[in-house]
Amino acid sequence: MPNQPSTAVLGFRPHSYWTPAVALAGPRHAPRVIERRRIPFAAGEERSVFHRAEQTDLESARVLLEDVRAATEANAAREIGQFVADLQRDGVTVRVAVVPEALNKLPDSLEDILKMQARMLAATGNFYRGVVASACGVLGLQVHRAVERELTPLVGNRLGEIVAVVESRLKAMGRALGPPWTEDYKLATLAAWLHLDDTDEDD
């Protein structure tokens, strides 16, 4: 593949059964997405696990959560591992992955979480984001987390630029790449951008 960089950072934005994944490369002030992928990691009863947990007793709920975590983490590690292998085949090394996290405070008690729909919704998001982060760790990647809604200003701080400049560059990346360039892919790109080292090559 011509002009392929030698290293890339993976960025994600997990949902309850899939995640967008981008491989971002180049210098921090002029990055480009060299590959993107939609990665499924849950199917059937592996989805919406807290709503299933709500319908059973507390001990069974704990077992369910652990079983689903193990299954979805294995699924995610397999699919992300294939993504990494495909990049390596093209001469691109991946050592770092960035998975956004939410800024929420949930009770430590599973029983308290299962009492409220809003808590279950937040816990579900945390659960599957954690699954993707753990899967990246299993693959030996260095995993970073950052609060999703703070990604744009955090990238701006790293670049020494205002938010509007970051947003403009993000739009330019999307134009160069072509569709799909949804909010999911933008956030995954911002996540990777946050930990893109200045020494990464762009050619």
What are 100-128's pLDDT values in tens digits? Answer: 999 888 999 999 999 999 999 999 999 99
Q: Is the peptide bond before 153 cis (omega within 30 degrees of 0)?
A: no
**Domain count of the chain?**
1
What was the pLDDT predicted at 60?
A: 96
Whether 121 is in a domain gets the answer yes
Task: Check whether 1 has a pLDDT greater than 50.
Answer: no
Query: 200: pLDDT confidence band, cut at 50, 70 and 90?
Result: very low
Average pLDDT over residues 5-28: 95
What was the pLDDT predicted at 201?
A: 44
Task: Check whether 2 has a pLDDT greater than 60.
Answer: no
What are 134-189's pLDDT values in tens digits? Answer: 999 999 999 999 999 999 999 999 999 999 999 999 999 999 999 999 999 999 99
Whether 44 is in a domain gets the answer yes
Range of the domain at 38: 7-194
What are 43-96's pLDDT values in tens digits? Answer: 998 998 999 999 999 999 999 999 999 999 999 999 999 999 999 999 999 999
Whether 104 is in a domain gets the answer yes
Task: Check whether 192 has a pLDDT greater than 90.
Answer: yes
Whether 202 is in a domain gets the answer no
Q: What is the DSSP code string of 48-70?
A: SHHHHHHTS-HHHHHHHHHHHHH
Whether 203 is in a domain gets the answer no
CATH number at residue 49: 3.30.420.10
Task: Check whether 4 has a pLDDT greater than 90.
Answer: no
Whether 199 is in a domain gets the answer no
Enumerate the β-bridge partners of residue 97. 10, 143
Residues 147, 100 contacting (CB under 8 angstroms)? yes
Q: Give CA–CA dist 96/165, Å, rounded.
A: 25
Whether 156 is in a domain gets the answer yes
Whether 154 is in a domain gets the answer yes
What was the pLDDT predicted at 3?
A: 65
Mean pLDDT, all residues of the chain: 93
Residues 195, 96 contacting (CB under 8 angstroms)? yes
Query: 199: pLDDT confidence band, cut at 50, 70 and 90?
Result: very low
Residues 110, 49 contacting (CB under 8 angstroms)? no
